[in-house]
Structure 1
Amino acid sequence: MSPPALIAVAHGTRDPAGAAAVRQLLDTVGRLRPGSRVEVGHLDLLRPSLYDVLARRRDDVVLVPLLLGAGYHVHTDIPAVVAAAGCRTARVSAALGPDPLLATVLSDRLTEAGWSGAREDGAVVLAAAGSTDQGANADTLRMARLLQTRLGCPVTAGYLCAASPTPAEAVAALRARGHREVAVARYLLAPGFFAQRASASGACLTSPPLGAHEAVARLVLRRYDEVLG
Structure 2
Amino acid sequence: MNRISSQPGLVSLDDRRRPEPPALVLVAHGSRDPRTLATVHDLLDQVRDRRPDLPVHLGHIELNEPLLPDTLASLGTADAVLVPLLLSRGYHVKRDIPDMAAASPARTRVAAPLGPHPLLVDTLHARLVEAGWHTGTDEETRRESAVVLASAGSRDPESAIDTRRTAQLLAERLGVPVVPAYASAATPTVETAIRALTARGRHKVAVASYFTAPGLFARQCAEKAPWIASAPLGTHPAMADLILHRYDQASATQVTSAA
User: Normalised by the size of structure 1, how large is the TM-score?
Assistant: 0.96
Is the Cα–Cα contact under 8 Å of residues 64 and 94 in structure 1 kept in the other structure?
yes
Amino acid at match of 1:67: L
User: Matched residues in 1 for 2:190 and 2:34: separation?
Assistant: 25
Partner of 1:10: 28
Q: Deviations over 1:184-225 (max 9, x none)?
A: 001110011211221232431110000111111101000000
Q: Displacement, 1:27?
A: 0.8
Q: Displacement, 1:32?
A: 1.5
Instruction: Indicate yes or no: 2:79 matched with 1:60.
Output: yes
Percent of residue pairs identical: 50
Is the Cα–Cα contact under 8 Å of residues 168 and 200 in structure 1 kept in the other structure?
no
Runs of at least 4 residues of structure 1 off by over 6 A?
none
User: Matched residues in 2 for 1:6 and 1:154: separation?
Assistant: 37
Is the Cα–Cα contact under 8 Å of residues 109 and 251 in structure 2 kept in the other structure?
no
Partner of 1:183: 206
Structure 1 runs not aligned, ≥5 long: none
Q: Displacement, 1:130?
A: 0.7
2:99 counterpart SS class: helix
Partner of 2:94: 75
Partner of 2:185: 162
User: Matched residues in 1 for 2:52 and 2:105: separation?
Assistant: 29
| Matched ranges for 1:14-163 at <5 A | 14-57=32-75, 58-87=77-106, 89-117=107-135, 119-163=142-186
Q: Displacement, 1:11?
A: 0.3
Instruction: Indicate yes or no: 2:215 matched with 1:196.
Output: no
Structure 2 runs not aligned, ≥5 long: 1-18, 253-259
Is the Cα–Cα contact under 8 Å of residues 183 and 204 in structure 1 kept in the other structure?
yes
| Pair member with larger Rg | 2
User: Matched residues in 1 for 2:156 and 2:172: separation?
Assistant: 25
Amino acid at match of 2:228: L
Q: Displacement, 1:79?
A: 1.2
Partner of 2:239: 216
2:42 counterpart SS class: helix
Q: Displacement, 1:34?
A: 2.0
Amino acid at match of 2:64: L
CA RMSD after TM alignment = 1.1
1:17 counterpart SS class: helix
User: Matched residues in 1 for 2:160 and 2:214: separation?
Assistant: 20
Q: Displacement, 1:120?
A: 2.1
Q: Displacement, 1:56?
A: 2.3
Instruction: Indicate yes or no: 2:189 matched with 1:171.
Output: no
Q: Displacement, 1:30?
A: 1.1
Is the Cα–Cα contact under 8 Å of residues 12 and 42 in structure 1 kept in the other structure?
yes
Paired residues in the alignment total 228
1:85 counterpart SS class: coil
Q: Displacement, 1:83?
A: 2.4
Amino acid at match of 1:109: R
